[in-house]
Chains A and B, each alone.
Chain A
Amino acid sequence: KQEVTQIPAALSVPEGENLVLNCSFTDSAIYNLQWFRQDPGKGLTSLLLIQSSQREQTSGRLNASLDKSSGRSTLYIAASQPGDSATYLCAVSGTYKYIFGTGTRLKVLA
C-alpha cells in the first residue's frame, strides 16, 4: 500500500529565504508526482507535475525534483514571499489514482 509522507508538517521562514519541502513515498512504482498549493478554506491549485521519466520540473521560482529509486521528491521555492504562505501537498499516482501526503503548512514572515 502506497504511503506518502511530508516533512516538516509546518515551517516558518523570513521573507527572501530559499526553502525546500520534502515528500517521500513507500512504493517507487509510480507514474506521476504532482505538487499542489492550498490556501486556507480553498481548493487545490496544481503547481507542478513530474512524470516518472522526468527528474525535475520548473515553473518560475518553483523547482520540483523526483528520485523514484529513493522514493523522494523535493519542492524548492526560491526567494520566498509572504504570498507563498499556504499548505503544500504532494500526491503520487499509480495506474488509476493519486495518493496524497498530509501537507506542509508554510508561513513566510514579512
Chain B
Amino acid sequence: NAGVTQTPKFRILKIGQSMTLQCTQDMNHNYMYWYRQDPGMGLKLIYYSVGAGITDKGEVPNGYNVSRSTTEDFPLRLELAAPSQTSVYFCASSSEFSGVGELFFGEGSRLTVL
C-alpha cells in the first residue's frame, strides 16, 4: 500500500522556469492538500481540493496552480519560478470523517530556485 506518493524528491530550477510537482494517492481519499515548509517553520497551505474538479486557495497560493481531474492525482504547477519558492513541498490526503479525518503525508519534494 503506497499511500501518498510525490515526485520528484529533489529539483533545482532556474528563475523563470516552470515545473509540475506530482502527487498521487491510492487510499481513495477525496481531500488532498499541498503545503510548503520553509526552514525552521511550520507548514503553510498552498491549495486544497475536496474532490475531483474542486479546488480552492489556501494561505499562500500566489505563484502556484493546481488541478484535480481524478480522485487519485493532485499536481501542483509552479509558473515562472522565483527564489521565494525555494522550499520543501508536501502533499497530503485525508478522508472526510467528522470534518477532515487523519492526514497522511507524502515524503516531500525539495525545490531550489537559483
Contact = CB atoms under 8 A, between A and B. Distances in A.
Nearest to A5: B42
B58 A103 contact: no
B42 A102 contact: yes
Given A43-B107, A89-B43, A97-B58, 16 more contacts: A6-B42, A32-B98, A43-B105, A43-B108, A44-B90, A44-B105, A45-B105, A46-B105, A52-B98, A89-B42, A91-B103, A93-B99, A94-B99, A97-B31, A98-B33, A99-B59
B64 to A, nearest CB: 16
Contacts, number: 72
A31 B42 contact: no
Pick the 7 closest A-B CB pairs, nearest first: A31-B99, A102-B42, A93-B100, A100-B43, A100-B42, A43-B107, A44-B105
A34 interface: yes
Interface in B86-114: 90, 94, 98-108
A61 interface: no
Interface of B: 31, 33, 35, 41-45, 48, 50, 56, 58-59, 90, 94, 98-108
12 contacts: A4-B42, A31-B98, A31-B100, A32-B98, A44-B90, A49-B101, A52-B99, A95-B99, A96-B50, A96-B99, A98-B94, A103-B41
Chain A interface size, under 10 / 10 to 19 / 20 to 34 / 35 or more: 20 to 34
A51 interface: yes
Contacts of B59: 99
A101 interface: yes
Nearest to A45: B105
Contact of A34 (B31, B45, B48, B103): B103
Given A43-B107, A96-B31, A96-B50, A32 B99 contact: yes
Interface in A60-82: none
Contacts of A46: 102-105
Interface centre among A46, A93, A96, A101 (most CB of B within 10 A): A96
A8 to B, nearest CB: 14
A98 to B, nearest CB: 6
